[in-house]
Amino acid sequence: MSDARNSILTRLRATRDAHPPTPPASDFAPIEAKQWAAEERLPRIRRLMEAVHTEFLDATKADWPQVLREFLAREGVGSLLYAPGTEAGKQLVEGGERGPIPTLIPYDRPLEDLKPQLFETIEAGLTTTRGAIAETGSLILWPTAEEPRTLSLIPHIHIALLRTDALYDTFLQAMREQGWAQAMPTNALLVSGPSKTADIEQTLAYGVHGPKRLVVLVIHQ
Amino acid sequence: MDGNAPDFAAASRAALADPQLRGNFRRAMDGLMTKRAAQFPDAGEWHGVRALAAAVRLRALSKLPELLETLEENCTRNGITVHWAATTEEANAIALDILHKANAKLVVKGKSMVTEEMHLNAVLEKDGIEVLESDLGEYIVQLDGTMPAHIIMPAIHLNTKQIAHLFKRKIKDAESREDAAYLTDLARRVLRAKFQAADVGMSGVNAAVAETGTLCLIENEGNGRMCTTVPPVHIAFMGLEKVVEKLEDVPPVISLLPRSATGQPITTYVNMISGPRKDGEKDGPREVHLVILDNGRSSIYADPELRDTLRCIRCGACMNHCPVYTKVGGHAYEAPYPGPIGKILVPQIEGLEKRGAMPHACTMCNACVEICPVKIPIVEIMGRLRVEAVKPGGAVKDGGAKASRKESMVWSGWAAMNASPTAYRLATMAMSRLGNAAPSSLPMLKEWTNVRTKPRFAGRTLHDLARAKGIPDV
Ligand code: SF4
């Protein structure tokens, strides 16, 4: 179909040059102006995300695996899929002796070999985040080879670790400061709540295709 | 849809006579307008971000051919296969070719307006491929065998009761329960099995970033992520105008789109895809294809005034605020894009012969222009299309198709009358004396008086009255 390509591009170029538009300057100031004091960001993120049914747990760097295990026990969640290659994954396994032990399932093989389990039995998935955004109450997810995309998508409960030293004002600020444009991963995501829909007569319902519950485990620094 | 020209007047009369439909739309649009307004409490912020979003779109259009080339280059570098289609037939052929190579039997689709333009589902079904819409609203519409009534909320014309009946009829083991939570869960169960089994996932694109070769998709349900992550092959479809220059251009668009569309600060997911599964990665499709569709867009682009149509980010806000759309609903337009954006886009894509009525389905109230997040002069374009419809040889496909000798004679007479003071005075005098005697059933008058009361002419003209007050003629 390269014929189509060339004829489309030639046409666009010729007609554009016949009437060259002069776009106004792109002034990003209205977005840059959106700022919150450091201590306001987390409460704001929490408020916005709770408004769409996100749950929050508080923990420290040392005790989060414990807090997580207690949560899973309390909620009767029997299986947790995690990324064994990440720091967090290692810490999760090591923090094992002190709490009730759910079945920990390492995401250590390709999706194809895990699909039936992922869709049918695994209840929860644990991921890290690259921070969160105060303006909209959004987590930044950055799946990698160690921490696959479906970890935060298929299990009914998605648990996300959020460090309080990576809170940004806006999406724009986050992508600038983390230098996204230089190195986009296969998939990057903003996640602002559990899966939801209002397609049936504007009635909000949670858990339509993605996770039914989103739990943010805040690791206070 | 092809073949006979759709009859908007007849379809809207039928819609207007359906109180259930009108109630469903009225309720939904009122809710959406209120929710949108609540997202823009600060007028300064709205004006600032809106100016930026419009500038981003205008800059993209000003460099459109170059950006499409850069996009292709960067996508290719990232491992995405880029295809170009001049027409919907070509795009369908590309899709079929990919599906055949993948030996695909089951396709799951995320929301994509471009594939509606292509009537892709019908093409795939004819080829024996099962295709399932997975956005809940699209799934409902597909089960119902109709088309989306709104670009953001496809099933907005139906209420819970109607959907419960539909599910009961079409889904095995469905209970008859008029409960949105139950119905949603039912769809979840049906569709999760399909995501797991699908050979190919399809999606649209909200913005394609030239700088990084990234496809951005926004959604609330997670079905878009399922379609683009779980099946081994992903095909994304985009209209050629959907490109933006830089990754930084995405935040302004994402900032306004969900707020304008559904009144939420952001969608649940903003999904940015920059390639297929890399070596060592455990999931994601092995192949990602991007189909770039023209389908008349390069003709729209050729005209400097009509070009503004291509700024659209498909938020649907113009529909929610349109007094005509709210009353006749989405289906009366019988088009993939209804409402104000449809009224300017569809006639340009499909031609004025078939779609000449659409630009007339507008009161020119300007409500859409006021809320459009990228400041498209929708009403001006509407006016332009009305002119194009009666002016042969213009910029738009089938221009002049609606030209009528009678109408053009009436307007010439009107112009002549208004250009000559004597003619004007004679005509207005005649109207003030005889106008009220003209029966409302006169041929041309009838079209107006059919649905309106004939206005009463004043006994004396304005000129008379002014003169009586001592205001001199000039
Ligand atoms: S024309 Fe404007 S308001 Fe309508 S869908 Fe497009 S961007 Fe939204």
Residue A7 CB neighbours (<10 A): 14
User: Could you say which of B236, B264, B295 is where a domain stops?
Assistant: B295
For residue B178, the model assigns a pLDDT of: 93
Q: How far is the CA of B376 from the centre of ligand 1 (A)?
A: 7
Pick the CATH number of A37-220 from 3.40.50.970, 3.30.9.40, 3.40.50.10420, 1.10.10.10: 3.40.50.10420
| A4 to chain B: closest CA residue | B86
Say if B106 is an interface residue toward chain A (CB within 8 Å): no
Residue B310 CB neighbours (<10 A): 22
Overall average pLDDT of the B385-400 stretch? 89
Q: Range with the lowest mean pLDDT among B82-91, B293-302, B329-338, B375-384?
A: B329-338
At residue B474 the predicted structure's pLDDT band, cuts being 50, 70 and 90, is low
Asked if residue B181 has pLDDT above 50, the reply is: yes
For residue A98, the model assigns a pLDDT of: 60
**CA dihedral (A18, B382, B388, B68) positive or negative:** positive
Distance between B181 CA and the closest CA of chain A, angstroms: 6
Does residue B412 fall inside a structural domain? no
What is the residue-averaged pLDDT of chain B?
93
Do strands B130-133 and B80-85 pair parallel, antiparallel, or not at all (unpaired)? Answer: unpaired
How is residue B293 written in tokens?
């569709």
Angle between helices B8-16 and B19-39 (to 10 degrees): 90
Contact (CB, 8 A) for B177 and B183: yes
Q: How far is the CA of B157 from the centre of ligand 1 (A)?
A: 20
User: Could you say which of B372, B390, B408 is where a domain stops?
Assistant: B390
Does residue B456 fall inside a structural domain? yes
Amino acid B300 reads I
Tell me how far apart the terminal alpha carbons of chain A are, to the nearest angstrom: 55
Which helix (DSSP H) or strand (DSSP E) does residue B190 occupy? helix B180-197
Which of B65, B85, B277 lies at the smallest CB-CB distance from A13?
B65
Give the integer Cα–Cα distance in Å for B335 and B222: 27
Tell me how far apart the terminal alpha carbons of chain B are, to the nearest angstrom: 56
Domain co-membership, B327 together with B288 = no
Does residue B397 fall inside a structural domain? no
Overall average pLDDT of the B373-379 stretch? 97
Amino acid B101 reads K
pLDDT, one tens digit per residue, over A7-45 is 999 999 999 999 999 999 999 999 999 999 999 999 999
Rounded alpha-carbon distances, angstroms, from residue B337 to A17, B202, B333, B344, B400: 29, 20, 8, 9, 23
Domain co-membership, B426 together with B356 = no
Q: Which long-range contacts (CB under 8 A, 24 or more apart) does B44-48 make?
A: B44/A30, B45/A30, B45/A34, B48/A27, B48/A29, B48/A30, B48/A33
CB within 8 Å of B156: residues ≥ 6 apart: A202, B24, B25, B28, B137, B149, B150, B330
Give the CATH number of the domain where residue B386 resides.
1.10.1060.10
- How much of chain B is helix, strand and coil, in % rounded to 5? 55, 10, 35
| A196 to chain B: closest CA residue | B221
> Domain locations in chain A?
37-220
3-class secondary structure, A163: strand
Do strands A55-60 and A213-220 pair parallel, antiparallel, or not at all (unpaired)? Answer: parallel
For residue A1, the model assigns a pLDDT of: 47
Q: How far is the CA of B311 from the centre of ligand 1 (A)?
A: 8
Q: For residue B104, what are the domain limits?
A: 40-295
Contact B184 A197 (CB under 8 A): yes
Q: In terms of Cα–Cα distance, which of A151, A163, A140, A146 is closest to A80?
A: A151
What's the domain count of chain B? 3
Say if B195 is an interface residue toward chain A (CB within 8 Å): yes
Distance between A37 CA and the closest CA of chain B, angstroms: 19
Contact A175 B247 (CB under 8 A): yes
Amino acid B365 reads C
Domain co-membership, B260 together with B198 = yes
| B28 to chain A: closest CA residue | A202
Which helix (DSSP H) or strand (DSSP E) does residue B445 occupy? helix B443-449
Contact B266 A137 (CB under 8 A): yes
Does residue B73 fall inside a structural domain? yes
Is B374 a pocket residue for ligand 1 (Cβ < 6 Å)? yes
Q: Range with the lowest mean pLDDT among A91-100, B331-340, B393-402?
A: A91-100
Is B344 a pocket residue for ligand 1 (Cβ < 6 Å)? no
Q: Range with the lowest mean pLDDT among A89-93, A179-183, B220-224, B445-449?
A: B445-449
Is B341 a pocket residue for ligand 1 (Cβ < 6 Å)? yes
Q: What is the DSSP string of A128-159?
A: --S-EETTTTEEEE---SSS-GGGGTSSSEEE
Residues 107-146 of A with CB under 8 A from B: 107, 109-111, 115-116, 119, 135-138, 144-145
With a pLDDT cut of 70, the percent of chain B lying above it is 99
Say if B24 is an interface residue toward chain A (CB within 8 Å): yes
Amino acid B230 reads V
For residue B461, the model assigns a pLDDT of: 87
User: Could you say which of B246, B274, B295 is where a domain stops?
Assistant: B295
Pocket test for ligand 1, best of B33, B241, B257, B314 (most atoms within 8 A of CB): B314
Does residue B178 fall inside a structural domain? yes
Contact A210 B269 (CB under 8 A): yes
Residues of A in contact with B183 (CB under 8 A): 200
Say if B28 is an interface residue toward chain A (CB within 8 Å): yes
pLDDT, one tens digit per residue, over B427-466 is 888 888 888 888 888 887 888 888 888 888 888 888 889 9
Domain co-membership, B279 together with B364 = no
Asked if residue B395 has pLDDT above 90, the reply is: no
Asked if residue A216 has pLDDT above 80, the reply is: yes
pLDDT, one tens digit per residue, over B43-80 is 999 999 999 999 999 999 999 999 999 999 999 999 99
For residue A183, the model assigns a pLDDT of: 93
Does residue B19 fall inside a structural domain? no
Give the integer Cα–Cα distance in Å for A197 and B420: 62
Which of B55, B180, B251 lies at the smallest CB-CB distance from A205?
B180
Domain co-membership, B238 together with B286 = yes
Give the integer Cα–Cα distance in Å for B212 and A183: 8
Is B377 a pocket residue for ligand 1 (Cβ < 6 Å)? no
Is B352 a pocket residue for ligand 1 (Cβ < 6 Å)? no
Domain co-membership, B268 together with B323 = no
For residue B170, the model assigns a pLDDT of: 94
For residue B406, the model assigns a pLDDT of: 86
How is residue A22 written in tokens?
């002069």
Rounded alpha-carbon distances, angstroms, from residue A148 to A188, B136, B278, B281: 11, 25, 11, 7
Contact (CB, 8 A) for B228 and B283: no
How is residue B405 written in tokens?
């000798």
Asked if residue B219 has pLDDT above 50, the reply is: yes
Residues 156-195 of A with CB under 8 A from B: 170-172, 175-176, 180-181, 184-195
For residue B77, the model assigns a pLDDT of: 98
**Greatest mean pLDDT among A96-105, B88-97, B173-182:** B88-97
Domain co-membership, B66 together with B154 = yes
Q: Which long-range contacts (CB under 8 A, 24 or more apart) does B40-45 make?
A: B40/B259, B44/A30, B45/A30, B45/A34
Domain co-membership, B265 together with B217 = yes
Q: How far is the CA of B373 from the centre of ligand 1 (A)?
A: 7
ipTM of the complex: 0.96
Contact B55 A26 (CB under 8 A): yes
